[in-house]
Structure 1
Amino acid sequence: MMERLRKWALERKFVFKTLWSNTTRVILGCVNDKYSWRLRALVVPHSEFFVVKKLVDKQACDTTHKNPNHRQATATTLASLICSGYHEKNYGLKAKQIIDLVRMNHGVQIKYKKAWRTKEIDESLVRGTPEDSYHNLAKWLFKVQEKNI
């Protein structure tokens, strides 16, 4: 749920903070206490869905609070937004390319370290982790033996 809300905040170019949360609900608010933007969402029981119960959408923040360094631009969120770049090329994107891509597409300036973490998460999303490859090794060897017989 939080991942989807972070993507939504990046798309609409605003920043929020978590006022209260637990495993079943979350209350978000504007980073500037002067403004009344609020969102209350609940998780639908026994599913992966959530429902926004209340949204006070008075988005009147000035530009200094709308996009300073963008709190919601986490490495995981950025990785899920730009992982399509890894399908084009075999080696994926470089950290500098990720910085430029995020700045052009989302208007957010990120540091090199966050771009590097985004690159690592992207690679594991697209290619899987080394542990995943190790677990698939037995299946692969079985298929090779089956083919060679």
Structure 2
Amino acid sequence: MDASSRGHTAAGAGRGGFRVERAPDGRYRWQLKAPNGRVVAVSAAGYETAVEAERGFDGLRAGAEALVARITHVRDGIGWIWVVPGSRALPEVRSSRAYERYATCQNAFRRFVVLLAKQPAPELPDRIAPLRPTDVRR
């Protein structure tokens, strides 16, 4: 499935970058991979369509510098995760894994913000050709 205009596919998005996948529940979720291929972050919410998932990612990307994470201890287990709260305090994005140390989790969030800001903006549709005089009705 072609998930975005950036050319990433669910089957093989290469080593790094953004991609959208369909979850077992039928909803779409996005993930962001580092250049080394490791998944850095995943969308916490599911989207009805791949386009909605991409829009959610693009909104997050546009405001990357202003993102603030809440770092919390894992409920059942050992470690720390970071979560970016969205509307109504529901998580918008979260770390893809738990980190052993609080400071390591903080650094992982900082790296996520840098990686997010480096993602290319979505390609705009081709410019619409201006009307020719013969196209205008009089």
Q: Give the TM-score, by structure 2 length.
A: 0.30
Q: Which has the higher helix share?
A: 1
Q: Which has the higher strand share?
A: 2
Q: Give the TM-score, by structure 1 length.
A: 0.28
Structure with larger Rg: 1
